Amino acid sequence: MRLKLILALSLFVCMTFSLAKDQSHPLARGRRRGAGPKRARKQTSIATLQQGRLSESNGQDGSIFIDSYKNTKELKPDYETTAGKSEHCVFRGITMYDKTVWSPKPCVNCLCSSGEVVCDQILCPALRCQLKFQRIGECCPICIDPVVDGPEYSGDSPVPNDLAEPYTGISQSQKDRQKKDEQERIRKKDADRKQRKKQKKEEAERQRKLKEAKDAREKEEEQRRLREEEEERAAAEERKRRMEEHRKAEEDRARRLEMEQKEMMRALEEAAERAQEALRGDEATEDEDVVWLRGDVFQMPPTRAAGPPLLALQEPTEPDEEDTEPGEEEPEVVEEESEMVTTLLPQGCSISDVTITCENAKLMGIPPLSIPELKSLSLQGNEIKSIPAGAFNGIPNLEWIDLGKNKILSSGIDPQAFKGLKFLSRLYMDGNLLEQIPSELPSTLQELKINENNLKEIEENSFEGLSSLVTLEMEGNLLSEGHVNSQAFKPLKELTYLRLSRNHFRTIPQGLPASLLELYLENNLIEDISETAFNHTTNINVVVLRHNKLDESSIAPFAWINHRNLESIDLSHNNFYLVPSFLPKSLVHLVLVGNQIERIPGYVFAHMEPGLEYLYLSYNKLDGDAVEPESFLGTFNTMTELCLDHNQLTSIPMGINEMTTLHFLRLNNNKIRHVSEDAICDPLNNDDSHLVALRLENNFLDPRKIPPTAFSCVRSYSSVVLKPQRIK
């Protein structure tokens, strides 16, 4: 405002001067009436254009420059005057009246005072800002962005801030606002700096903790590895020691058997020589028939029919002792030995300790052996069709007989064939032509196998007297629920293992014994499990029903849900579309491989106590919507092995990262494209690594895009199988 007032006063003085001059030159005034104002404006413009060439020194053109012309405190400037006392002033050829004020250039004001030209130069403050702006009509620029520090003046001596305020073009309110903005900015900057410092500190602390955890984990892993190596070394040494002991024992046993066989053969040869000598000395030898041994056919002398059919094997010490007896007793020994027939084992048979093996020897019948010490007899793979009474009279101490893969018919077995075997515990008759269970079997029998026969019916008394039977196998027959008497299994008080696979059952057979622990019914036609199917088998532990015709609706809700001992169920290769509900509370092992399962319902495992440990769902139709958030509820603290391979999963199923005891996980051969950081391993779980093996091959994964911490819960990265994938 003050500057405008000065400019207006200067213009008024100039106009007064021009009028006075025109009055003194009337002719010129009339001649140049129209050019006066233009000339004045032109001179003013010329004066303005010459501002850049104005010298800063005093007295060169008759003007005097003062450092400070005016200030905010209305102080009177100190003027330095030049010589001369005339009333008019001449400035660059222009005559100015006394008290005339003008501005030859921006920020410079001049005054004609008693013939002297006095000039005052306005000093602008030094601005410390990036963006500057100079308003029209003002001599000093201003800052557009806030000023960091207070302004400093250029020149030899600084001018106080309060003196420069009128020339900055910024009002006090603007300066206060700028100051507040600057303070706010500084405060925010300090807050950001403190926040960044805090974040850096927290990040450093987190990195330190991660490093400590990693070091501790590595240390523990190293200790565990050392322990495992030590245990493996100790186990290897123990195995080596046991193998050495076993080898020595086998060598001793083989040496002992060889010696026994040699002694036995020597005894047989000596007895045969003595018998032949006795026969040559007998006059009645011409009337006796010669005994020949042809394979498995034995012809007995008619006069010795009541005697033993074969030579009883004797210890070598007995003939030696007899040889040392007085001569009067020798004829009795010769007479006793003369009643025995010396034969060799049938061709294709071998003896080892107390076992005779005649496998695939083309025998047509049971060889009439007379070896009381014999414990095991294997006649597998021959042409035997019948078992007559007394077939095992010479070997009454048998404990195991294998008659598998022969052509034995039920009608060819004499009811008294096995009656004399008081120690028989195992009888194998697989691969024959039996249509009924053999009768009059010894009560000592513990294991009976009649697989791959033609059994069509099991009568009420089929197992009469077999109260000691533990294992019964009747696989590969023609049995069905309509031809199995419900009271047939009642005598089997100790039966724990029953195999009825590859038959024609449509339901679970009735009357199963209460002692049963394992039941195998695979490869049947079972399509229904009623509520009473397992009512009496409260101790059953394993049920195998694979390769049948079951689905989720064919199992009654209370068929087995309340069983407290049923831990393993195999339902592979049936017709399930969902994981079945109402599974046993005690279930630990569930196999559902090879079905059509598309979904795992929520809470299907939640009722199990303590919880499912092994779940096999390979080769099904599980896709991206198959698993619900509650599908695996109840297994998070117990699941040990989970197989979801060969399905159509597009991502890692929910809930796997919560399984803290999971050791083996198979997700190979699916359609998984992404593995997030917390899909398999929970980053918030600081427990030890629990996964031992992880398979993810044959998916659509890019190993380079898998987060580095995605497998943090795997004990060793070498146990993670990622190759090959279906993308290049």
For each of the domains in the chain, give its residue range(s) and CATH number, in order of start: 2-122 (no CATH), 598-728 (3.80.10.10)
Q: How confident is the model at residue 422 (pLDDT cuts 50, 70, 90)?
A: very high
Residues 545, 526 contacting (CB under 8 angstroms): yes
Q: Is 320 helix (H, G, I), strand (E, B) or coil?
A: helix
Question: What are the φ/ψ torsions at residue 284 (nearest 5 degrees)?
Answer: -95, 15
pLDDT for 414 beyond 80: yes
Distance from the Cα of residue 574 to its chain's centroid = 27
Task: State the Rg of the chain over Cα.
Answer: 59
| pLDDT at residue 344, as a whole number | 66
Mean pLDDT score, 502-529: 95
Most confident listed range (89-98, 324-333, 468-477):
468-477
pLDDT of residue 18: 64
Q: From the centroid of its chain, how far is CA 680?
A: 6
What confidence score (pLDDT) does residue 291 get?
Answer: 35
Give the number of other CB atoms < 10 A from CB of residue 180.
Answer: 11
User: Which residues pair with residue 498 across a beta bridge?
Assistant: 472, 519
E-state strands within 429-562: 447-449, 471-473, 497-499, 518-520, 542-544
Average pLDDT value for residue range 504-515: 94
User: How high is the pLDDT of residue 676?
Assistant: 92
Phi, psi of 485 (to 5 degrees): -65, 135
pLDDT of residue 150: 44
**% the chain with pLDDT above 70:** 75
B/e letters for 578-599, b = 16+ CB within 10 Å, e = fewer, are bbbebbbebbbbbbbbbbebbb
Q: How does residue 54 score in pLDDT terms, banded at 50, 70 and 90?
A: very low
Q: How confident is the model at residue 565 (pLDDT cuts 50, 70, 90)?
A: very high
Say if residue 610 is preceded by a cis peptide, omega within 30 of 0.
yes
Its pTM stands at: 0.56
Residue 385 pLDDT grade (very low, low, confident, very high; cuts 50, 70, 90): very high
Average of pLDDT values for 132-139?
A: 73
DSSP secondary structure letter of residue 50 = G
Taking a C-beta distance cutoff of 8 angstroms, is the pair 712, 685 a contact?
no
pLDDT of amino acid 281: 56
Confidence tier at 229 by pLDDT (50, 70, 90): confident
Separation of alpha carbons 83 and 63, rounded Å: 11
- Give the pair of three-digit tokens for residue 377: 């007899």
């039996």: which residue's tokens? 434
The yes-or-no verdict on residue 240 having pLDDT over 90 is no
Q: Which helix (H) or strand (E) holds 169?
A: none
Reference 161, options 252, 73, 272, 101; nearest CA is 73
From residue 478, alpha-carbon distances to 410, 456, 464, 513, 575 in Å are 15, 5, 21, 21, 24
Gap between the Cα atoms of 627 and 566, Å rounded: 26
Q: How confident is the model at residue 697 (pLDDT cuts 50, 70, 90)?
A: very high
With tokens 């009568």, the residue in question is 459
Does residue 704 surpass a pLDDT of 50? yes
What is the sign, positive or negative, of the torsion defined by CA atoms of 515, 553, 670, 522? positive
Over residues 668-685, the mean pLDDT reads 90
CB neighbour list of residue 26: distance below 8 Å, 6 or more residues apart: none
pLDDT tens digits, residue range 547-558? 999 999 999 999
Average pLDDT score over residue span 597-610: 94
| pLDDT tens figures, 63-77 | 444 444 444 344 444
- For the stretch 612-642, pLDDT in tens is 999 999 999 999 899 998 999 999 999 999 9
Identify the bridge partners of residue 101 per DSSP, sorted by sequence position.
111
Contact between 672 and 646 (Cβ < 8 Å): no
If pLDDT is split at 50, 70 and 90, which confidence band does 443 have? Answer: very high
Mean pLDDT is highest, among 120-124, 242-246, 512-516, 680-684, for 512-516
% of residues, the chain, pLDDT over 90:
44
Closest Cα to residue 543, out of 580, 512, 510, 569?
569
Q: 382: Cβ–Cβ under 8 A, 6 or more apart, which residues? A: 358, 359, 360, 361, 362, 363, 364, 405, 406
Give the containing element (helix H, strand E) for 677.
none
Per-residue pLDDT at 568 exceeds 60: yes
Record the tokens describing residue 127, joined without a space. 């601005």
Q: Quote the pLDDT of residue 282.
A: 52
Lowest mean per-residue pLDDT among 124-133, 193-202, 667-676: 124-133
Instruction: Answer with the residue of higher pLDDT: 245 or 165.
Output: 245
Residue 24: C-alpha distances to residues 13, 32, 33, 93 (Å): 17, 14, 14, 19
Q: How confident is the model at residue 108 (pLDDT cuts 50, 70, 90)?
A: confident
**Cα 271 to Cα 334: distance, rounded to the nearest angstrom:** 9
What is the rounded average pLDDT for all residues in the chain?
Answer: 78
- Strand ranges (DSSP E) for 192-253? none
The predicted structure's pLDDT at residue 170: 57
